[in-house]
């Protein structure tokens, strides 16, 4: 088993905002930190969430400090705010789920389903139909998503009513 987030998965979000984290992703988190601690944050680059283990914020802070060195500026503060203000610490329960904070769902337009995309050191969580409409979506991820939607008898042209 690799210690990287790989592959794609489609999971439903239940009425209590509980979302099952793919088993392979849970294994990566545990292998890296020996905990069930997960961090979610709004992506700075796309209409999705990003997820990672509890230690990744250390790397994000190191990168932030390297970008701004000893500079004291509003730009530095905005950068830190964009990285950390929306980040939420969560713990994966014994059933492999987390409760998605409503504000993160709303900010990234995630409704009743979540499409996971592994990106090595972290992963993205998209609303499937938002991802289908994304101009620069990856061809393989798109095809995987279409197959998952069809297998679950979910529409490709928009979320179920």
Q: Tens digit of pLDDT for each residue in 71-94?
A: 889 999 998 999 999 999 999 999
The structural architecture, per CATH, of the domain 8-151 is 3-Layer(aba) Sandwich (3.40)
Name the helix (H) or strand (E) containing 145.
helix 139-151
Q: Tens digit of pLDDT for each residue in 109-160?
A: 999 999 999 999 999 999 999 999 999 999 999 999 999 999 999 999 999 8
pTM above 0.85, yes or no: yes
pLDDT at 1 over 60: no
What is the predicted pLDDT for the residue at 47? Answer: 97
Q: Tens digit of pLDDT for each residue in 100-110?
A: 999 999 999 99
**Two tokens at 159?**
């979320």
Q: List the domain boundaries for the chain.
A: 8-151
Q: Render 22-67 in DSSP notation, one character per residue.
A: PHHHHHHHHHHHSS-EEEEEE-SSSSSEEEEETTHHHHHHHHHHHH
């Amino acid at each position: 088993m690799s210690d990287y987030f790989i592959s794609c998965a489609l999971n439903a979000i239940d009425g209590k905002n509980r979302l099952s984290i793919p088993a392979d992703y849970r294994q990566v988190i545990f292998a890296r930190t020996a905990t069930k601690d997960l961090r979610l944050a709004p992506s700075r680059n796309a209409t999705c969430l990003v997820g990672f283990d509890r230690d990744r914020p250390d790397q994000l802070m190191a990168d932030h400090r390297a970008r701004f060195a000893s500079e004291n500026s509003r730009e530095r503060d905005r950068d830190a705010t964009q990285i950390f203000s929306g980040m939420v610490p969560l713990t994966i329960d014994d059933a492999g789920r987390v409760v998605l904070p409503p504000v993160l769902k709303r900010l990234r337009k995630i409704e009743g389903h979540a499409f996971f995309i592994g990106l090595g050191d972290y992963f993205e969580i998209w609303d499937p139909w938002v991802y289908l409409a994304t101009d620069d979506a990856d061809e393989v991820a798109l095809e995987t998503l279409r197959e998952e939607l069809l297998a679950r008898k979910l529409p490709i042209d928009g979320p179920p009513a």
